[in-house]
Amino acid sequence: PVKLAVVSRDGQLHLFEHILNGTHKKPLAPSCTVQIATSGSEGSTPAPVPIHCAGFCPDKQSLILYYGSTLQPLIERVVLKTDEPHVCLIRDIKTTLTLRQEMTVTKV
């Protein structure tokens, strides 16, 4: 079978499997959907973390996920050997990046 990993605009990963020259249903539905969320603190709800890119590893059983902020991305290898149609991965992402703009002072 041909395996295809698609990252949608909302940051979810959809995995498709298709057998060439075989029977298929239209429209083609994903066999698995992967979503990443942060672990919410007490009293708060978990927030979704967007997946930017995904690719299959040479063993065809694991994926490399590129997710998080575009300034501080995280790259992780994930093994997906599950029959569940929807998988939600909980990750603790700490943002330690602070942006500042420095002003130059000139004396006249």
Q: Give tens-digit pLDDT for 74-96.
A: 999 999 877 889 999 998 887 66
- Asked if 62 and 78 touch (Cβ cutoff 8 Å), the reply is yes
Residue bearing the bigger pLDDT, 101 or 20: 20
Tokens matching residue 74: 């995280």
- How far is residue 67's CA from residue 53's CA, in Å, rounded to a whole number? 7
- How far is residue 34's CA from residue 15's CA, in Å, rounded to a whole number? 8
pLDDT (tens digit, 9 = 90+) per residue, 8-30? 999 999 999 888 887 877 888 89
- Asked if 5 and 15 touch (Cβ cutoff 8 Å), the reply is yes
Q: Which amino acid is present at 87?
A: V
Residue bearing the bigger pLDDT, 28 or 33: 33
**Average pLDDT score over residue span 27-37:** 90
Query: What DSSP character marks residue 20?
Result: T
Mean pLDDT of all residues belonging to the chain: 85
67 has pLDDT over 90? yes
What pTM does this model have?
0.78
